Chains A and B, each alone.
Chain A
Amino acid sequence: MLVSSLPRAVRTELTKLRTLRSSWLVLGLTVLAGIGLGVLSARSTAHAWAGMLAADRAALDPVGSSFDGLDYAELGFGALGVLAMTGEYATGMVRVSLLAVPGRWVFVIAKALVVGGLGALVGEVCAFGSFLAVQHTLGPTGRAVQLGDPHVLRAVSAAGLYLAIVALVGLGIGAAVRHTGPAVVALVAVVFLAWPAARAVEGISTLPSKLLLANAVDALVTVVPVTGPQAARVPGPGLACGVLVGYAVAALAIAGWRAGRDT
């Protein structure tokens, strides 16, 4: 049942995404913000470079600064995931969607494949686009790096993949909450604002901090070792991968469970 009906369910989800103006709007603005803000920030650095202190110059992480705009783009990817689900429940469309694709897991997996797949594609476009544009902008500083430099390819592709994970987290939250407004609030709480809560219990354990999306992705997108108090919060690469996969799996599990409930 799952195997036979999944390809058609995926085509349905692609059609749904393609035929809504909001999808294009969210994706367009997200790519614009993701690359544009990174470039603007790099231009400021390049302009200020001549007057910068040696210590400030040394602190510049050319790879990390490629992703300045992606912090902002995260919100767009999360919103894409949220809307994919709440666009169904808030409008009543979900009922005919489930009449057409009655397998709840088929429905959820098809949505996750489309949102996750498109998230990964556009996420990588953002990450690589931003990286290349920022390195070009940083040219005058003499600190620009290339994709072939150690760890750089890993960092850039992880940054793009992370955006797909945020989109999936949005999907899970959208399925759980079903209303756009509250779901976006929950998304912001989980993706952007969970750190004070984790930091509050650091006296007991730094594990909650290590389980945060933001810290997990930090571990994968930096090419210079993290120092200072932040070092205790950033998980190792293995745990970081586990955390990202964990969020995606949890989002899917929640979405599947919620879709199985009465609509």
Chain B
Amino acid sequence: MLSSLGSPLLPAPVEGIRLTDVTKRRGGRLVLDRVSFEARPGAVTGLVGANGAGKSSAVRLVLGLDRATGGTALVCGRRYRDLERPLHAVGAVLDSPTAHPGRTARAHLACLAASHGIGRQRVASLLEQTGIAEHADRRVQTFSLGMRQRLAVAAALLGDPAVLVLDEPVNGLDPAGIRWIRVLMRAWAREGRAVLVSSHLMGEMASTADRVVVLRRGRVVADGTVPDVIRSTGADSLEEAYLVLDARTAQVCS
């Protein structure tokens, strides 16, 4: 609470993402069970776990797309739905299509830009930066998966946000696309942004993330830097560490 008493002349300290005891129940099933973790500025935090472990659910709660049953999920110190100009705080790349196939790439970005008074110049420069400028006036339905992902990244960056959230961003991408996303995420973290990325690809996370949060059946079973998590399990790779954790918690649970 002290932070709200800070001098109004100073910019608010950049906060990343903080989940505290977040619980989500869907149709009687416990999807997330008192999940707490943080994604700090200047680091890539990997949210890893099997399919159905609750990664996407956690991401959706952070972004205010779903409502938590209990606990709080804050971005930049506030709940997503309370953010005044959310695209300037958070950018998101979601795990399934988010553009109307009938719109051109430029029109898609223009729709979102209009909500924040972001100009055409910014839209054009993002189309340029993400390498889809020459296809900007083609309809999204003609785009390959890789181009759609580039468009999604352009949309996430519209407001030059301090926090970036990516849900399974490399799924289905070719090696060049995977590297492109990896290099981008590292660059964002270097610029001081908080990056939260969910994935079930452990090798990919080992080479991208600074820290990992391991989810299993809606619970956090490990949280730390990549070397720490590997060391704590006595494994020699993140993949192996994950499998050790999975087997270990399976025993505890049964």
Contacts and interface: CB of A to CB of B under 8 A. Distances in A.
B98 interface: yes
Given A8-B115, A92-B97, A93-B100, A99 B63 contact: yes
A91 B99 contact: yes
Contacts of B94: 92, 95-96
A16 B67 CA distance: 26
Contacts of B63: 99
Given A99-B92, A102-B80, A102-B81, A19 B87 contact: no
A141 to B, nearest CB: 45
A20 interface: yes
B103 A19 contact: yes
Given A11-B114, A11-B115, A19-B110, A102 B83 contact: yes
Contacts of B100: 16, 20, 87-88, 91, 93
> Is the interface on chain A under 10, 10 to 19, 20 to 34, or 35 or more residues?
20 to 34
A15 interface: yes
B17 to A, nearest CB: 14
Given A19-B103, A99-B92, A102-B83, A262 B66 contact: yes
Interface in A1-59: 1, 4-5, 8-9, 11-12, 14-16, 19-22
A15 B107 contact: yes
A102 B64 contact: yes
B175 interface: no
Interface string A67-101: 00000000000000000000110011101111111
A262 B67 contact: yes
A261 to B, nearest CB: 9
A103 B81 CA distance: 6
B96 interface: yes
A96 B100 CA distance: 11
Contacts of A97: 111-112
B103 to A, nearest CB: 5
Contacts of A9: 115
A175 B102 CA distance: 20
A263 interface: yes
A15 B114 contact: yes
A241 B177 CA distance: 58
A67 B213 CA distance: 64
A12 B108 CA distance: 10
Contact of B111 (A19, A91, A98): A19
Contact of B65 (A1, A87, A95): A95
Given A8-B117, A19-B107, A100 B112 contact: yes
Interface string B193-235: 0000000000000000000000000000000000000000000
6 contacts: A16-B111, A19-B108, A87-B102, A92-B96, A93-B100, A95-B94
Interface of A: 1, 4-5, 8-9, 11-12, 14-16, 19-22, 87-88, 91-93, 95-103, 262-263
Given A102-B81, A262-B60, 15 more contacts: A8-B114, A9-B115, A12-B111, A16-B100, A87-B102, A95-B94, A96-B92, A96-B94, A96-B99, A97-B111, A100-B112, A102-B80, A102-B83, A262-B66, A262-B67
